[in-house]
Structure 1
Amino acid sequence: MRKMKFAPTLVAAAVSTVLLAGCNAQASKQEAATMAPVGKAMLAKSEQAAFAPLAPLGPPPQAADNLTTPDKAELGKLLFFDPRVGGDASTGCSTCHEPEQGWAWAEDFSRGYPGTVHWRNSQTIINSAYYPRLFWAGSASSLEKQAKSAATGGVAGNGESDIMEARLALIPEYRKRFKDVFGDEWPLIENVWRAIAAYETTLVQRDTPLDKYLQGDKAALSAEQVRGKALFEGKAGCIQCHNGAMASDMDYHNIGVPANKRWEEDGLAQITFRYEQYAKGQTEEGYRTAKSDWGFYYRSKNKWDKGKFRTPSLRYTAHTAPYMHNGILYTLEDVVEFYNRGGFDEEGRTTQFAENKSKLIKPLGLTDQEKADLVAFLESFSGDPITTEKPALPEYAPLFTRAELEAAQEAK
């Protein structure tokens, strides 16, 4: 499914359809009984029906040419945590996707390759297998391509394929594992990405309070969370973009997120910003005038896509602060307040491209109690933190012993 080339909204609908088994589309009697008055709903029932309902998450889709097996996932886990899959053997996947930090990185911008800083917030790996496209602007069409792009990106892994392959060839355990899993005589870099992708398909959370509630356990949500669900689907209008089993329409929207002021204060961030503008094919005028991340525009080059980013899933978000593509909102309370103001920050700032701002973003008029209820419901998209024991990484060893080399010389 990750290889399909349909429009994002169509892919989202297809994904949601596959994952909707067991979904309770109608509010339960308990839900109706515990709802506090929430004022005039933003979305009428007929409007709500236009969006895929929230649903329990089904098994993750897999690429037909890279099915997950236990041995492949185990190899992928080693590679995920191994910084030798990178430029100077200091920066691996887990460098920016730390299990203890929500399988992301708990700062506004992700960590960068030594001597650099990244320019976007690190997204969690949890449930990433369900996305039809990866990265904030959807520039990777599969987990395999995402792994490659991150490991070789200039401000991320900065790796060179031949050097990474050579390193792995000098590690006997990797030679054996690649032989067993892929039949490689020597580890091949494309199979590195396939193994990492296989491991990431195992990083799934499907047993959240919301999943349990939607599967029929009406005690799984508190009364406060049930009221928040009604707001989510009604007055607050969150369901318009955060719908389906992944709570994402998989589409791209400009919601008014202003630029991170770090561009103005951090010289290294400014260098990264200019580098990314150049690398992504920015026009000369755009390069000279850009004051923020242009998002989906870098892919489409359409002016109406400036400032648009993919709707992130709400799953596991209780563990992945800060939020938004540039990490400017530090709590779920901040996120709700941002939307309640109509897509403006505390200083009244909005995106550089206000003309592209989605018409869906408008002041909500939520009361303090309603905001608290909505935050409580957002927390129900996350279960307990997913942890793992970091693996002991295999050691280097010479390709040949001295005796083998001497025997080879004598044979000549």
Structure 2
Amino acid sequence: MTQQNFTKLTIGIVLILSTWACNPNANEPVQEGIDKELEKVLIAASSGKGKEFYMLPASIDFNKIPQDPKNPITADKVELGKLLFHETGLGMTPQKASSYQTYSCATCHHSKAGFQACVPQGMGEGGTGFGVSGETRTIKSDYKATEVDVQPIRTPSAMNAAYQPNMLWNGQFGATHFNENTQASWTKGTPKENNKFGFQGIETQAIAGQGVHRLGFNPNFFFNRPLYRDLYAKSFDLKTLNDPVQSVINVGLAIAAYERTLLSNEAAFQRWLKGEYSALSESQKQGAILFFGKAGCYQCHNGPSLANMEFHALGMSNLTEGSYGRNVVVNAGSEKAEHKGRGGFTGKAADMHKFKVPQLYNLKDSPFYGHGASFTTIESVIAYKNAAVPQNKNVPSSQLAKEFKPLQLTQDEIQNLTSFIKEGLYDPNLKRYVPQALPSGLAFPNNDAQSRKDLGF
């Protein structure tokens, strides 16, 4: 090598090192034109807040997770709630002894279904089987349809619920936010009465759900299991285990604390928001640009969970009794209050047929969509909204949301939008929210004989 070439090589190395020193992020993915376009529509859709407006916090960053001031999140409380949420041992008050300790909160909200049920109608006591992702759960042979614990509406997701101060499709749980001054609807002797405790929706639902879904409480169940006893003592006054009201409240508060940490913060879109621009495919980026732009999805699906606390009528069909493929729906008659949406809770004519906007992460884990499970693919929901022709003839056109109008999307645009919602908003690692085992040693999320076989317990 000549002296001249050596000098040129030396200068080149110095320049490279100098550039690296001034730009320590040189190895990070480069933001391309489509990324800049997506960032631009995010800024517009968030009224100038930009990418941070859509970022979900880490599940252990309690200070950034929305929480009820009356139920501060702690690590011990979350751990207690995680165990109790999956604890089939709490299935202590079934109508039939054959179902004793065979079901849990997670029966209808489990990780393999994106914390949904993977069936059109979640089934607690009186159900049997699990399959791979909950898809084969059905009615036990010794149960009549009227004896099974089911709801007349599709089970909503527990994912990203921290951003919902009022819970359920009609928002009936929670004493705050939209439910302020709705005391007249907190009917005594019904689950809605639990709003009287003054908690937000997640806490109220977790308290009320114990009675609704035939879960029981026995102080000895905790006292005889050191892990439960210790976690309870670190989260609440241990003496309250002997208080039949406060103990149920505390169990609910622990479950709610855990539920608030169920955040899909490892989804590809979340990674893109943090600068990993290769996390989304080209099609998913195009779909996101449509979502936050031309398609107008963001008008209702906005913020970190891509939902808001509004209620809209989109004319979707209600859950009805009968066959949904391999699944059978029962106790879902047309006169159920749940089929009236927000109006079924408030009684107001203006609220009839209006349902809460759902969050959109991990939808592909459970193939039923809409409050009535009337869709079985994400693409079909998008096509429905694109055409804007209501399914439910009982919903007056005057009630339909102003946003429910033809979107004029092409088939390619529908495909890109589907790709973003189905894959870009998918967190593949929800098993991180599941305990390895329960202090009771029982199977979970279900503990009936067929489920144990399906689950390999």
Q: 8 Å contact 1:306–1:353 — kept in the other structure?
A: no
Match of 2:232 in 1: 178
Q: Does 1:391 align with 2:391?
A: no
Which SS does the other structure have where 1:164 is aligned? Answer: coil
Distance of aligned partners of 1:363 and 1:195 in 2 relative to their CA distance in 1, 3 Å threshold: same
Rounded to whole Å, the distance in 1 between the matches of 2:43 and 2:267 is: 28
Rounded to whole Å, the distance in 2 between the matches of 1:331 and 1:243 is: 21
Match of 2:33 in 1: 30
Q: TM-score w.r.t. structure 2 length?
A: 0.66
Match of 1:362 in 2: 405
Distance of aligned partners of 1:328 and 1:340 in 2 relative to their CA distance in 1, 3 Å threshold: same
Rounded to whole Å, the distance in 2 between the matches of 1:45 and 1:394 is: 47
Alignment of 1:10-409 (within 5 A): 30-31=33-34, 55-58=54-57, 59-86=64-91, 87-88=93-94, 89-114=101-126, 115-116=147-148, 117-141=150-174, 142=200, 143-153=202-212, 157-159=213-215, 164-166=217-219, 168=221, 171-173=224-226, 174-185=228-239, 187=241, 188-262=247-321, 271-273=331-333, 276-277=336-337, 293-345=339-391, 349-350=392-393, 352-378=395-421, 379-387=423-431, 388-394=434-440
Distance of aligned partners of 1:372 and 1:271 in 2 relative to their CA distance in 1, 3 Å threshold: closer
Rounded to whole Å, the distance in 1 between the matches of 2:45 and 2:351 is: 26
Rounded to whole Å, the distance in 2 between the matches of 1:51 and 1:259 is: 37
Deviation at 1:233, TM superposition (A): 2.3
Which SS does the other structure have where 1:339 is aligned? Answer: helix
Deviation at 1:32, TM superposition (A): 7.3
Consecutive unaligned residues of structure 2, counting only runs of 5 or more, are 1-30, 58-63, 95-100, 127-146, 175-199, 242-246, 443-457
Task: Output one character per residue of 1:211-254: Cα deviation in whole Å (capped at 9) or x when no partner.
Answer: 22223333222221121122212332211111122211210000
Q: TM-score w.r.t. structure 1 length?
A: 0.72
Which SS does the other structure have where 2:66 is aligned? Answer: coil
Distance of aligned partners of 1:177 and 1:56 in 2 relative to their CA distance in 1, 3 Å threshold: closer
Q: 8 Å contact 1:131–1:250 — kept in the other structure?
A: yes
Distance of aligned partners of 1:270 and 1:205 in 2 relative to their CA distance in 1, 3 Å threshold: closer
Q: 8 Å contact 2:87–2:438 — kept in the other structure?
A: no
Deviation at 1:48, TM superposition (A): 5.0
Deviation at 1:50, TM superposition (A): 6.1
Rounded to whole Å, the distance in 2 between the matches of 1:240 and 1:150 is: 31
Q: 8 Å contact 1:118–1:272 — kept in the other structure?
A: yes
Q: 8 Å contact 2:152–2:331 — kept in the other structure?
A: no
Consecutive unaligned residues of structure 1, counting only runs of 5 or more, are 1-27, 36-43, 281-292, 397-412
Rounded to whole Å, the distance in 2 between the matches of 1:249 and 1:265 is: 29
Rounded to whole Å, the distance in 2 between the matches of 1:140 and 1:149 is: 9
Match of 1:403 in 2: none
Distance of aligned partners of 1:372 and 1:235 in 2 relative to their CA distance in 1, 3 Å threshold: same
Task: Output one character per residue of 1:187-214: Cα deviation in whole Å (capped at 9) or x when no partner.
Answer: 2221111111122223222132212222
Amino-acid identity (%): 26
Rounded to whole Å, the distance in 1 between the matches of 2:240 and 2:77 is: 16
Match of 1:410 in 2: none
Rounded to whole Å, the distance in 1 between the matches of 2:229 and 2:46 is: 53
Deviation at 1:78, TM superposition (A): 1.8
Aligned CA RMSD, in angstroms, stands at 3.2
Amino acid at match of 2:425: F
Distance of aligned partners of 1:270 and 1:80 in 2 relative to their CA distance in 1, 3 Å threshold: closer
Paired residues, what number?
Answer: 337
Q: Larger Rg: 1 or 2?
A: 2
Rounded to whole Å, the distance in 2 between the matches of 1:168 and 1:73 is: 19
Rounded to whole Å, the distance in 2 between the matches of 1:96 and 1:341 is: 32
Rounded to whole Å, the distance in 1 between the matches of 2:402 and 2:49 is: 20
